[in-house]
C-alpha cells in the first residue's frame, strides 16, 4: 500500500464531489442514512455541516446497516437523492433494485467491503476499490471529509472530526495511522488544526478530576484501579497530586510519574505491550474554535460512541454539528456509558479463566450475563487492556431475542497472516441459518441459539482453511 492507492482514493473523492456539487443548488432534497457509531456520527456531522452551508434541504437518520426491507421502505420516501454513510456497500444490490431503478440519485460513502455496479445515478467512494484497507487506512468520516474538502477549503477545519471517526473505529495503531488517515492527520497537524503531544491516553483527561479519571478508566481497564475509588485516591495521594487537578493540567513530568505509579500497581500487566501502548502514547487535540465538544480526540470519539451505544446518536451528532447546548447531555451519556462498561469489564475479568480454546480461536459463552450490545466493545477493551491474549481471534456469544449474538475481535497482525474474521463469520453464520460479517479485525453475527455448537465447529474449520 503506497502513494498510488492514496492518489486513487483522492481521485474517488474528486469524482464523488463532482457528482454531489450540482445537487447542492437547493432544488435537490437529500436523505442521509448514517451508522450509529462514532465514525458514522462524525461522518454525518461533517456532511451535515457541508449541506447546511449550501442551504440544501435534507433529513438524516441513524441506523445500523439497513436490511433489504428497510431499504425498500426508504425508497418509498419522497427524496431526490440518498446518501449512505458508513454503510451501503454490502446493501448495494438492494439499493440498486429499490432506489437506482427509479432513477433517483445515490451516493455511498463507506469503508466496508463491497462491489459496485456502474450506474449513471450512482457515485461512491470506498477505500477497498482503491487498493486501501477500510479497516485501517481510512474510515467513513475520513472519506466524507475528503469529499467536502474538494467542494470548499473552508471545510478543512473539520479535520478533527475525520480523525475522531478513525479513532472511534480503532484505526489508530501503536505506530500511528496508516494510509489516507496518516496523510490526513499529518496535514491537519501541519496546518495547525490539531495539536500532537504525548501523555496518558485516558478518557477524562480534560474532563474529570484525576482521581475520577482513573476510577472510570475503561480504555485501558486498569486492574486494581478501575472502579476502585479508594485505590485511586491512595495512588494520587502517594504522588502528592491534588485530587481536583485534571490530567491535562499536570504537566509532562508529573503525568509520567503517575504513569509509572500505575505500571507499578498492575504488576505483570506493566510489561504487556497492548496495555502499555493503550495507557501512554500520542495524544491529539483540536486546535481550532470551529468544533464544539472535548478538545481531546479520544474523548470526543468516546463521547460519540457512548451516544450511539445508548441509542442517542442524535445527541452526539448535535455536538459534532456544532450545538453547544447538547454538550452537557452528551457528557452525561458518556459518564453513564463508562459506568456500564466498568461493570461489564469487572464481570469479564472474573470470567477470564472460562474462555474455551479451539485450534483457531478462543471464545466465551456469556449467556444472559452481559448486554449483547456491549459485548464487542468489552472484548476490544479487554484486548487493549492486556487481559486477553492476542495470538488468536476472540469471540463472545450472548443470548438475545431470537437467538445468539456473536462479537468477534482479531488484530492487524493476525489479519496480515490472512485471518479475515469478518469473512469467516459471514460464511459460517450463513451455514447455520444466521447472518454476519464485518472487517478483518472486528465482526459480528447472529445465529439460532440451538446451533451454537455447530457454529463453533464450522468456524474452526473455516479458519483452519486459511481465514475464510
Give yes or no for residue 122 having a pLDDT over 70.
Answer: yes
List the beta bridge partners of residue 411: none
Instruction: Round to whole Å and give the CA distance between 228 and 221.
Output: 11
Residue 184's pLDDT band, with cuts at 50, 70 and 90, is very high
211-230 pLDDT, tens digit per residue, is 999 999 999 999 999 999 99
Rounded mean pLDDT of 97-123?
A: 93
**Mean per-residue pLDDT of the chain:** 94
Instruction: Round to whole Å and give the CA distance between 431 and 451.
Output: 10
**What is the percent of the chain with per-residue pLDDT over 90, rounded to a whole number?**
87
Per-residue confidence (pLDDT) for residue 20, from 0 to 100: 97
Helix and strand tally (H, E) in the chain?
18, 13
Residues 6+ apart with CB under 8 A from 237: none
Strand arrangement of the beta sheet that strand 58-62 belongs to: 58-62, 30-34, 81-85, 105-109, 122-125
Give the domain ranges of the chain: 3-193, 197-286+292-347, 351-464
Weakest mean pLDDT among 65-69, 206-210, 304-308, 332-336: 65-69
Domain covering 3-193 in this structure, CATH number: 3.90.1640.30
Give yes or no for residue 2 having a pLDDT over 80.
Answer: no
Per-residue confidence (pLDDT) for residue 404, from 0 to 100: 94
Residue 206 sits at φ, ψ, to 5 deg, of -110, 0
Which grid cell is 85? 454513510
Q: Are strands 394-400 and 122-125 parallel, antiparallel or unpaired?
A: unpaired
Residue 175's pLDDT band, with cuts at 50, 70 and 90, is confident
Give yes or no for residue 84 having a pLDDT over 70.
Answer: yes
371-426 pLDDT, tens digit per residue, is 888 899 899 999 999 999 989 999 999 999 889 999 999 998 899 899 999 999 99
Per-residue confidence (pLDDT) for residue 467, from 0 to 100: 46
Give yes or no for residue 297 having a pLDDT over 50.
Answer: yes
326-366 pLDDT, tens digit per residue, is 999 999 999 999 999 999 999 999 999 999 999 999 999 99
Domain covering 351-464 in this structure, CATH number: 3.10.310.40
Task: State the number of CA atoms in the 13 A half-sphere of 336 facing the CB.
Answer: 15
Q: Name which residue leads in pLDDT, 437 or 239.
A: 239
Per-residue confidence (pLDDT) for residue 468, from 0 to 100: 52
Residues 6+ apart with CB under 8 A from 218: 203, 226, 338, 341, 342, 345, 381
46 neighbors 155 (Cβ within 8 angstroms): yes
Rounded mean pLDDT of 162-181?
A: 93
Amino acid at each position: 500500500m503506497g502513494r498510488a492507492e492514496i492518489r486513487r482514493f483522492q481521485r474517488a473523492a474528486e469524482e464523488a464531489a463532482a457528482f454531489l456539487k450540482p445537487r447542492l443548488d437547493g432544488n435537490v432534497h437529500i436523505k442521509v442514512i448514517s451508522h450509529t457509531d462514532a465514525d458514522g456520527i462524525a461522518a454525518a456531522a461533517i456532511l451535515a455541516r457541508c449541506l447546511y452551508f449550501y442551504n440544501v434541504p435534507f433529513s438524516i437518520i441513524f441506523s445500523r446497516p439497513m436490511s433489504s426491507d428497510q431499504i425498500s421502505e426508504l425508497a418509498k420516501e419522497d427524496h431526490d437523492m440518498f446518501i449512505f454513510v458508513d454503510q451501503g456497500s454490502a446493501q448495494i444490490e438492494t439499493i440498486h433494485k429499490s432506489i437506482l431503478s427509479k432513477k433517483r440519485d445515490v451516493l455511498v460513502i463507506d469503508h466496508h467491503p463491497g462491489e459496485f455496479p456502474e450506474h449513471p445515478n450512482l457515485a461512491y467512494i470506498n477505500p477497498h476499490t482503491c487498493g486501501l484497507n477500510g479497516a485501517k487506512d481510512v474510515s467513513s468520516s475520513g472519506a466524507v471529509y475528503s469529499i467536502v474538502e474538494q467542494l470548499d477549503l473552508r471545510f478543512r477545519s473539520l479535520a478533527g472530526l475525520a480523525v475522531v471517526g478513525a479513532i472511534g473505529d480503532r484505526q489508530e495503531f501503536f505506530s500511528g495511522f496508516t494510509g489516507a488517515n496518516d496523510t490526513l492527520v499529518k496535514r491537519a497537524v501541519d496546518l495547525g488544526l490539531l495539536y500532537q503531544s504525548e501523555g496518558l491516553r485516558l478518557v477524562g483527561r480534560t474532563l474529570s478530576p484525576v482521581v475520577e479519571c482513573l476510577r472510570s478508566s475503561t480504555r485501558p481497564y486498569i486492574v486494581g484501579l478501575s472502579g476502585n475509588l479508594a485505590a485511586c485516591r491512595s495512588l494520587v495521594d502517594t504522588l502528592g497530586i491534588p485530587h481536583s487537578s485534571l490530567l491535562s493540567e499536570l504537566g509532562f513530568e508529573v503525568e509520567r510519574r503517575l504513569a509509572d505509579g500505575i505500571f507499578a500497581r498492575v504488576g505483570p500487566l506493566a510489561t504487556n505491550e497492548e496495555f502499555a501502548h493503550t495507557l501512554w502514547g500520542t495524544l491529539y487535540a483540536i486546535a481550532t474554535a470551529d468544533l464544539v465538544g472535548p478538545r481531546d480526540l479520544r474523548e470526543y470519539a468516546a463521547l460519540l460512541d457512548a451516544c450511539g451505544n445508548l441509542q442517542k446518536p442524535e445527541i452526539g451528532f448535535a455536538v459534532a454539528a456544532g450545538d453547544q447546548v447538547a454538550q452537557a447531555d452528551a457528557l452525561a451519556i458518556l459518564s453513564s456509558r463508562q459506568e456500564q462498561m466498568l461493570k461489564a469489564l469487572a464481570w469479564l475479568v472474573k470470567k477470564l479463566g472460562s474462555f474455551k480454546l479451539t485450534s483457531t480461536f478462543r471464545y466465551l459463552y456469556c449467556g444472559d450475563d452481559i448486554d449483547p450490545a456491549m459485548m464487542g466493545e468489552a472484548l476490544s477493551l479487554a484486548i487493549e487492556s492486556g487481559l486477553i491474549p492476542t495470538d488468536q481471534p476472540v469471540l463472545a456469544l450472548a443470548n438475545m431475542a431470537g437467538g445468539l449474538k456473536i462479537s468477534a475481535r482479531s488484530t492487524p497482525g493476525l489479519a496480515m497472516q490472512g485471518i479475515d474474521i469478518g469473512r469467516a463469520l459471514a460464511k459460517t453464520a450463513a451455514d447455520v441459518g444466521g447472518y454476519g460479517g464485518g472487517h478483518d479485525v472486528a465482526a459480528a453475527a447472529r445465529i439460532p441459539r440451538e446451533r451454537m455448537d455447530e457454529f463453533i465447529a464450522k468456524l474452526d474449520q473455516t479458519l483452519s482453511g486459511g481465514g475464510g
